[in-house]
Amino acid sequence: MDGERLFCDTALAERIERAEARFVAACSDATRARTGGAGFRRPLAGGVATFAEAGSPFTKIAGLGFAGLPEGLDEVEAAFAELGAPVQVELSQLADSAVGAFLTARGYRLESYENVLGRRVGAGEFPGNVRLCRDDELEAWLSAMADASAVADDQGLPSNEHFPRELLRNALRDMAGVRRYVAERDGEFAGGACFRVTEGIAQFGGAATVPAHRRRGVQTALLRARLAAAAEAGCDLAVVTTQPGSKSHQNAQRQGFDLLYARAILVKGTSDTSSSGADSRQAS
């Protein structure tokens, strides 16, 4: 099974994008529950439009392109405008091309891309240097991950994501329904990552490695740990999102992940963070 390449057709892409939309919606709900602030979650043409908080990686539109044109977009754009936010759409390369044409005709511009990689889940072994984060470690885990993510890796295309530390820390906190992992080297916190199950898909995200421990196999160990957990959870598919050409992209391919498709990040308006999301991006 590990040697068989994974082919992604439109049905599989739709399944992955539906799971992504559910994850974004759940995280947005968690953010609004934490802050008690204004925001919304609205279904939109098979996807979801969410405002979590200003500048949040969960303030965006996800999952479009597999259920026709987003005819309710006027109201959604007005809702973002009322809260002073740009409208950001993540659109799969395998989505209906008419949706992309519809958005660009409305003034959306292409800002960046991100890659979605996946692999079938088989039996795996949990590495000895990775463990679940304990409840009493959560605050320390959040701080360490925010610090590690702030130092970008220098391989591949530069990320267009620039989050203030506290905003990133809160986004990691608000990742709903995830298991958080800790990787250690020489008795020190070396890196961490998250894992969530949605409709049989193991969604890998929120990964970062402390700069002093990079290029030491930390992300590989975290990938293997989550693959083992995915098998135990009965998942048939594991998915991870990375910057194109990044070290995280390379690490994932070395662990048997295939490049399934790219997402185009389309934006209307001006963003302070120019971000596409911290839910799945990696800092290796």
Find where tokens 């990691």 sit: 172
Does this model's pTM top 0.75? My answer is yes
**Which one, of 249, 232, 203, 209, lies nearest residue 125 by Cα?**
232
CATH 3.40.630.30 fits 120-260+270-283, yes or no: yes
Helix 247-254, helix 218-232: angle, nearest 10: 50
**Which one, of 246, 240, 265, 224, lies nearest residue 92 by Cα?**
265
Cβ atoms of residues 140 and 183 within 8 Å: no
**Which amino acid, 155?**
Q
| pLDDT on residue 280 | 40
Q: Pull the structure tokens for residue 254.
A: 């070395």
Rg of the chain over all Cα atoms, to the nearest angstrom:
18
What letter does residue 133 receive in the DSSP assignment? P
| pLDDT on residue 274 | 45
Question: Residue 68: enclosing H or E segment and its boundaries?
Answer: none
Q: Pull the structure tokens for residue 198.
A: 């949605």
User: What string of pLDDT tens digits covers the 284 residues of the chain?
Assistant: 445 789 999 999 999 999 999 999 999 999 999 999 899 999 999 999 999 999 999 999 999 999 999 999 999 999 999 999 999 999 999 999 999 999 999 999 999 999 999 999 988 889 999 999 999 999 999 999 999 887 766 555 555 556 788 999 999 999 999 999 999 999 999 999 999 999 999 999 989 999 999 988 999 999 999 999 999 999 999 999 999 998 889 999 999 999 999 999 999 997 554 443 434 445 54
Cβ atoms of residues 83 and 39 within 8 Å: yes
| pLDDT on residue 41 | 97
Find where tokens 């098979």 sit: 46
List strand residue ranges (DSSP E) for 36-171, in order.
40-44, 47-51, 60-64, 87-92, 109-120, 130-132
Name the burial class of residue 254, with classes exposed (0-12), middle (13-18) and buried (19+) by CB atoms within 10 angstroms of its CB. Answer: exposed
| pLDDT on residue 125 | 86
| In the chain, where the domains are located | 10-115, 120-260+270-283
